[in-house]
Amino acid sequence: MIWEFSPASKPMVAIMREILRKYPKCEFGRELFPGNPIPILRVSGGKTTADVADWGYLTQKGKRVYNARSETLLEKPLFGKDFVQNRCVIPVTGFCEWDGDGTGWDFLPQEEEMLYLAGVCRKKAEGWEATVVTEHAAGYVGEIHHRTPLILSGENLRQWLYDEAQARQFLEEAKERVLLKRKKMEGETL
């Protein structure tokens, strides 16, 4: 999975403004890969704040874990505590997946300006790292790939960040919360 990032939407402009105020030299590429810095929204001092995290938790063995399955997230020592204390949201303008034939597909919001991916984050020596929560794919994504990010609507954003009981419910119910459109990527194959 690759996330697409474009600072053109109004919500993303506000997020980037806050990030650049904190980190004036911060830059994001158009496509974000595991290990890259990514924008996140997290709770700090009872308020939602924009921040930067490296995509994926780096384990003691040097392996980067960039996805956390919703079905097992709470059971995993790597993620369980962070689900309770450090849920985050990764704002993106779309994401890409590849089908069994190696054809790339873009998934973009149909009615909203952005997608908000549910995640967990943790503090490291310098900064943060974040992992996206995935669930069984449904709808357009399910026709291409068996997993999808747990995508929140703008309305669900605060519930994920502030309401642990509601966040647990999101983990249990794999469903499309945001309408997506699918577009074949031009000339992109694995």
pLDDT exceeds cutoff 90 at 94 = no
Q: Looking at per-residue confidence, does 3 or 114 come out higher?
A: 114
Q: What distance in Å separates the CA atoms of residue 109 and residue 115, rounded to the nearest whole number?
A: 6
Torsional class of 145: left (φ above 0), alpha (ψ -120 to 50), beta (otherwise): beta
- 40-44, 135-139, 160-164: least confident range: 135-139
What span, in angstroms and rounded, lies between the C-alpha atoms of 35 and 159? Answer: 27
Compute the distance between CA of residue 131 and CA of residue 4 in angstroms, rounded to an integer.
16
Residue 9's DSSP bridge partners are: none
pTM of the predicted model, to two decimals?
A: 0.88
